[in-house]
Structure 1
Amino acid sequence: MKFFGVLAGVSAAVLAATPVSGAEPERSAERIKAHVAFLADDLMQGREAGSTGHAIAANYVASQLAQIGVKPGAAGGSYFQSVPMSGFRPADEGRFAVVAKGGPATPLVFGEDYLPGRNPLAAATALQAPMVFVGFGVVAGKRNDYAGLDVKGKIVVALAGAPKTFQTEERAYYANGRTKRLQAEKRGAVGFISVNTPSDEARQPFANAARQWKSWGMSWRESSGQAFTPAGSTPELARISVKGAAKLFVGAPKPLEQVYAAAETGAPPRFALPSRLDAALNTEPKTLESVNVVGLIEGSDPILKNEVVVLSAHLDHIGVSTNPVNGDAVNNGALDNAGGVATTLEVARAFLAGKAPRRTLLFLLNTAEEKGLIGSEYFALNPTTASPIVANVNLDMPILTYDFIDVVAFGAERSTLGPAVTRAGARMGVKLLPDPLPDEGLFTRSDHFRFVERGVPSVFLMTGFENGGQAAFTSFLRDNYHKPSDDLAQPIDYAVGAKFARLNYEIAREIADADQKPAWNKGDFFGELFKPRP
């Protein structure tokens, strides 16, 4: 494998981390420690998708699967599914101005009023078009924020987020930019603007986003060589701050303060804005390649082996920062998500050490989760197995710094996977608790959701909030999430990692050996939304 020659640069401590004698939980903890130490080493340079560091990490994981005895799960007897990708970022600050009818142009100020978007399909985008404010821009059931509005040939302006009256996970789905732009495109809009609300900026200050305005976005490439771009004819032009929104709404039928107040109850007014927007947006493209790592354990049942359960964890992280923190710029991603990858490898080992599963298990260590669930989307649309995928269990960022006694399985209440998690946890004295962060909409924000979009019942597993879990999770988000400090200096308890791996094994065993395949609960929102149509 072409990157193995680079491994000479790994610290001696990493390469010396080998299993020790003793009870199996101790050996499991030592193996997890070794995996995390390797994957979070500075040599990986933060494992950004398409980088040499990510390629080294992928080769390492493939070699571990081979040592365990997991079969290659990609085409041609390989552990690697190639993922052709496109990268794109703002080439410059762009230029935006609000032009009142018969009046002067009012420039928007970069970093204060707006941040430029990206257009994966064009290096230069120039638009001069009227603007229409569509509230949240949500179309759901009887609600249609476009009702009575003509947006054809115009720029849609929509508030970020979705009505608070929606169920939290459904709200997260409708708040997603892709979901909104698809509705705008369907009605002929030529551009899309997202406007912050005061509550958005209280939670995530606009200045924080401004520091990362030139980061790379990514997508996978279609066979034509074009970046996969839903709503490509309605590009996101810019993100507008509360301060910038005041310029967009000058002379509007309703004052901006009234719009924001009404948005809190879920029903902001909607209207054509009296001004046009002059927008110039330049996008820098690049092409790159990355891989998903795929392994397979064949099922033993002559019938059920033709159904596949996918166990996934993302291998990538966010790479190297342009602004070092305390002299450190490498975002090692020890818990996000080297811990998830390490525990997945232990699940594979446990299955091969015991009886074979009845259903086939596919282990997916995917790329570019941090870039928008790209690797999992590519796999879900281009699976390496011809057999139907009947479930996905996804691991992302388990907090392995305390002894968890409960687990959160986002989406558990939506399908028969919930009872499976409950039964598996009960065997270990681990409870299944409800989503402790409902307003975050986490069910839509990790790799499992790409399988949900293909109609596959899925859950996303995370250590729970009891026994100190809430404090551990909160402090991780505050101090270490997507920062160089997510490294081996954290108080990682590898015995907890072994426990989490065992729990995931028990859950996968429940699903793989059940007589009936997983099913969505009757009438579930996502089950109905993404039900395969003839």
Structure 2
Amino acid sequence: MKTFIFCLLISTTSMFSQEINSVVESLNKDEIYNRVSGEPALTNAKNYIINQFKTLGLEELTDGYTDDFEVKSGLSLGDNSVSFGLIVPRMGIPMDRIKPSIQNWEFQKDWLPLGFTSDGNISEAEIAFVGYGITAPGYDDYSGMDVKDKVVIILTDSPEGEKSEKYNIFSSYEYKVKNAQKNGAVGALFIKAMGDSANVFEPVIVDKFNSGIVALQANRASLERYFPKKQALIDQEKAIRETKSPKSFILPNVKGNINLQLETKAFKYSNVYGMHEGEDNNRNLIIAFPYDEALSDKKIEDYLKKQNKFYYESGNNISGIATALELARRFKVNPAPVNIVFAALSGDEPNLEGARKMVAELDERVANSSAIFYLDNTEKIHKKHLIINSNDPLIVEKFRGVEAFKTLNAEAKELDARDTNPIISKNKKYVRVWNKLRSYPPAKREWTESDFAELNEYINLLEQTIRNLTQE
């Protein structure tokens, strides 16, 4: 008698794909997609995550899982204007009798305020170019210059470029605008140093620091037209870089007018916290992930809505959210010996406000956590490259030692000093998980079965490392 044994093969990759596809599909729906403050989609996304936390059996750490807060993170512009009066010399007519030609600047095209600017009304002020606006040992852009009651034009970076140890403490916007004020200037126009992003504005983020004077960022191409031909902006900048000496001067025949009246806008956000409780209730490990939207550009939004497909960057951090929810599912099935806290952070675009609020609200848990994993954009774009950063060299080595990590196109290294996440100051075992490349608008490629399988490998790696940390 022959016995036949039938084996039912179940594809775990396929099951996993269904789980992740469900999250991706939900977060790409019109009612959830545009997750920016003030949009119903952000509230819908919050409610979706709360329902997922409930389904996955996470305990509440705050009433209704939420931690609501308000942040002044935008500027409301009233009747503001920037213009320049250009005097064109005419033969036989004294300069003081020539009526200036007024050239009005266009908001967002020619100028934007900086988030720390003060209000102000400046009329017919002289304009001075002060190079990089730095006063440092052996170098002073204000040497021999009288900029009292003038508007100064300041380049970003330093005479030695963007990454200069010598001028590092003198290169920030805050230092430069305070130095301008100290020298008597009534306004500062910042322009980007020459390069690919020379005409790209910085996002307007309200800062607690206040400049005390009007501080704007100007389009380089719009401003360089006022420089005399013999002292062209690009020539002056190159000369400073080459000689490492200032080339400051007063722009002839140009007067500036700036009227700036601003009001800060308050935005409402909510973090969502949940926890799988462990046997050792005194130990915690936190998995944090932002869920608000970086892509608020209407053109990108419209483009995506016309597509009947889902893309890697079709919404900010979709796969990061999916990764966190999958980890929550796994730790429900196979609990860890310590508390695993899941923190969905809002207000993280663009100023990490959600992380700041988490540090304040979960202060003790954050400070005493075995580690904090921050899942920030784990999408894979153009090429598949996962980066694990940590401020703890031992954690970096743990990742490098995991066999699965060696088979992935991945990299583990100590944290870049430029990462300013406030969690770092509270916890010495901060781990950032992110993709090296980002692409806006999104890459035109659907998620495939192999893509889900690779993301599954990433999550397996994270789960294994997290479990190793919780056993210590």
Fold-level match, TM-score > 0.5?
A: yes
The 5 Å alignment of 1:88-167 reads: 88-91=75-78, 94-97=81-84, 105=100, 107-110=102-105, 114-117=110-113, 125-128=120-123, 133-137=129-133, 155-162=151-158, 167=163
Q: CA deviation at 1:169?
A: 11
Partner of 1:450: 422
- Aligned partners of 1:314 and 1:366 also within 8 Å: yes
Give CA deviations for 1:352-373 in whole Å, capped at 9, x if unaligned: 3334254x54333222333333
Distance 1:133 1:513 in 2: 60
Partner of 2:456: 498
Partner of 1:63: 51
Partner of 2:432: 460
Using a 3 Å threshold, how does the CA distance of structure 1 residues 317 and 403 change in structure 2: closer, same or farther? closer
Q: CA deviation at 1:51?
A: 1.4
Counterpart check, 1:82 vs 2:69: yes
- Aligned partners of 2:295 and 2:316 also within 8 Å: no
DSSP 3-state at the match of 2:432: strand
Using a 3 Å threshold, how does the CA distance of structure 1 residues 47 and 246 change in structure 2: closer, same or farther? same
- Aligned partners of 2:382 and 2:443 also within 8 Å: no
Q: Amino acid of the residue matched to residue 387 of structure 2?
A: V
DSSP 3-state at the match of 1:369: coil
Give CA deviations for 1:62-116 in whole Å, capped at 9, x if unaligned: 2112221222334x46333433445325456722326789686564553598223
Q: CA deviation at 1:43?
A: 1.9
Which of 325, 330, 336 is residue 356 of structure 1 equivalent to? 336
- Aligned partners of 1:39 and 1:334 also within 8 Å: no
Distance 1:403 1:310 in 2: 25
Partner of 1:6: none
- TM-score norm. by structure 2 comes to 0.73
Q: How many residues align?
A: 444
- Aligned partners of 2:141 and 2:246 also within 8 Å: no
Using a 3 Å threshold, how does the CA distance of structure 1 residues 413 and 503 change in structure 2: closer, same or farther? same
Distance 1:186 1:251 in 2: 30
| Identical-pair percentage | 17
Which of 235, 260, 273 is residue 294 of structure 1 equivalent to? 273
Using a 3 Å threshold, how does the CA distance of structure 1 residues 302 and 458 change in structure 2: closer, same or farther? closer
Which of 229, 232, 236 is residue 208 of structure 2 equivalent to? 229
Which of 351, 372, 383 is residue 361 of structure 2 equivalent to? 383
- Aligned partners of 2:126 and 2:151 also within 8 Å: yes
Distance 1:319 1:72 in 2: 31
Partner of 1:339: 319
Which of 312, 316, 319 is residue 293 of structure 2 equivalent to? 316
Q: Tell which structure's C-alpha radius of gyration is larger.
A: 2
- Aligned partners of 1:185 and 1:231 also within 8 Å: no
Which of 374, 384, 393 is residue 394 of structure 1 equivalent to? 374
- Aligned partners of 1:113 and 1:245 also within 8 Å: no
- Aligned partners of 2:117 and 2:210 also within 8 Å: no
Q: CA deviation at 1:32?
A: 1.5
- Aligned partners of 1:89 and 1:118 also within 8 Å: no
- Aligned partners of 1:118 and 1:283 also within 8 Å: no
Counterpart check, 1:43 vs 2:1: no
Counterpart check, 1:28 vs 2:28: no
Q: CA deviation at 1:342?
A: 0.9
Q: CA deviation at 1:453?
A: 5.8
DSSP 3-state at the match of 2:298: strand
Distance 2:17 2:294 in 1: 23
Partner of 1:18: none
Q: CA deviation at 1:272?
A: 5.8
- Aligned partners of 1:88 and 1:120 also within 8 Å: no
DSSP 3-state at the match of 2:422: helix
Q: Amino acid of the residue matched to residue 189 of structure 2?
A: I
Partner of 1:197: 193
Using a 3 Å threshold, how does the CA distance of structure 1 residues 186 and 361 change in structure 2: closer, same or farther? farther
- Aligned partners of 2:131 and 2:246 also within 8 Å: yes
Q: Amino acid of the residue matched to residue 373 of structure 2?
A: V
Partner of 1:429: 407
Using a 3 Å threshold, how does the CA distance of structure 1 residues 388 and 396 change in structure 2: closer, same or farther? closer
Q: Amino acid of the residue matched to residue 260 of structure 1?
A: E
Give CA deviations for 1:266-301 in whole Å, capped at 9, x if unaligned: 946263645663212344654331212223345654
Distance 2:268 2:378 in 1: 28
Give the aligned CA root-mean-square deviation in angstroms. 4.7
The 5 Å alignment of 1:400-415 reads: 400=380, 404=384, 407-410=386-389, 412=390, 415=393
- Aligned partners of 1:138 and 1:180 also within 8 Å: yes
Which structure 1 residue ranges, 5 or more long, are not aligned? 1-20, 220-227, 436-440, 465-472, 515-534
Which of 418, 422, 425 is residue 396 of structure 2 equivalent to? 418
Using a 3 Å threshold, how does the CA distance of structure 1 residues 342 and 276 change in structure 2: closer, same or farther? same
Q: CA deviation at 1:350?
A: 2.6
Q: CA deviation at 1:345?
A: 1.5
Distance 1:355 1:458 in 2: 22
Distance 1:182 1:423 in 2: 48
Distance 2:176 2:43 in 1: 34
- Aligned partners of 1:125 and 1:282 also within 8 Å: yes
Q: CA deviation at 1:144?
A: 7.3
DSSP 3-state at the match of 1:371: coil
Which of 252, 260, 273 is residue 237 of structure 2 equivalent to? 260
Give CA deviations for 1:368-392 in whole Å, capped at 9, x if unaligned: 3333333334444x33333443654
Which structure 2 residue ranges, 5 or more long, are not aligned? 1-8, 88-94
- Aligned partners of 2:58 and 2:275 also within 8 Å: yes
Distance 1:190 1:434 in 2: 47
Distance 1:131 1:115 in 2: 16
DSSP 3-state at the match of 2:421: helix
Using a 3 Å threshold, how does the CA distance of structure 1 residues 22 and 324 change in structure 2: closer, same or farther? closer
Counterpart check, 1:53 vs 2:41: yes
DSSP 3-state at the match of 1:65: helix
DSSP 3-state at the match of 1:198: coil
Distance 2:255 2:469 in 1: 55
Counterpart check, 1:279 vs 2:267: no
Q: Amino acid of the residue matched to residue 318 of structure 1?
A: L
Partner of 1:469: none
DSSP 3-state at the match of 2:321: helix
